[in-house]
Amino acid sequence: MLVQRSRYSCLFPIAIALLLAAGCGVVEPAINFATFEGAPPQAITEGRRIAPDPELFLRQTLLRCQALQAYEVDFYKQERLGLLVKQLRAEEHMRVKFRAEPFSVRMVMLNEDHDFAETLYVEGQNDNKLRCRWRRALLGGEPPVNDYPAQFAVQFGKTINPITDFGVARMMERALDALDQATIAKTPAEITYVGVTRLEKGETAVHHIRMQYPDNAALPNLRVDLLFHADSLLPAASYVRPGGEVLQGRYIYAKFDVDVDFDDEDFRFSDDP
């Protein structure tokens, strides 16, 4: 049974977490896009098809992603964050259940040091708020469950994108929206099919496409590296950089499972009424 709390008391754990996180930057990971020697022949053949027109492949991938009704995936996220000074934070690892209609996301945090044990968002429910179960209580007892506006974590510098932007379809939409905006502004990206490489999580074959924007492009990230699973052609990773080699965000989708049959029970906490 949850204890009723005031509208302000639920902000106290967030404030503590923000204070503890201040100044906790980490070393940028070594990211290797080396060619996958001995890659599966099918991946090499598919790469030859993608190479002449990688933009067409990106737009076809968006359609594939928009057609996905549900999936479960291992999601890794690492971002440069901070309200005052932005620093690269530690990698977060979570197992995510996703459903397109109604838009639903349930994340189980696999990092033992993460503030939350799990989070849940279902469009049209709970006043469209994000439901969060803390990993541990400040003074012992049962970890509390609090509700926060979907944009709350963004406003407090805990993440770049809100929960409402999660998913491979939204990721592809953002990438192609930026591509179209830059083209209209006459600062188009150079889109290159780099080749077949290995996904850093799972060592599986992935196709690598790079979008490089000119320095005068009015975009937050001028270099975007996108990886796609060679077997399913679904997104595998996104690495975004504002310029040069400085990493702004690193997002990996591993162990994709699209053969799922979720119902409403999959998107509620076990002790919810």
Using the predicted structure, report yes or no on whether residue 73 has a pLDDT greater than 90: yes
The ranges assigned to domains in the chain are: 33-259
Q: Which residues contact 63 (CB under 8 A, 6 or more apart)?
A: none
For residues 208 and 237, give the distance between their C-alpha atoms in angstroms, rounded to a whole number. 9
Q: How far apart are CA 167 and CA 173, in angstroms?
A: 10
pLDDT at 162: 95
CB 235 within 8 A of CB 228: yes
Give me the percent of the chain exceeding a pLDDT of 90. 74
The predicted model scores a pTM of: 0.87
Structure confidence by residue, pLDDT tens digits, 256-273: 999 999 999 999 997 776
The CATH fold of domain 33-259:
outer membrane lipoprotein receptor (LolB), chain A (2.50.20)
Handedness of CA 128, 134, 138, 144 (dihedral sign): positive
The Cα 70–Cα 100 span in angstroms is 6
> Other C-beta atoms within 10 Å of 88: how many?
21
Give me 176's structure tokens. 């192609």
In the chain, % of residues over pLDDT 70: 90
Mean per-residue pLDDT, 87-101: 96
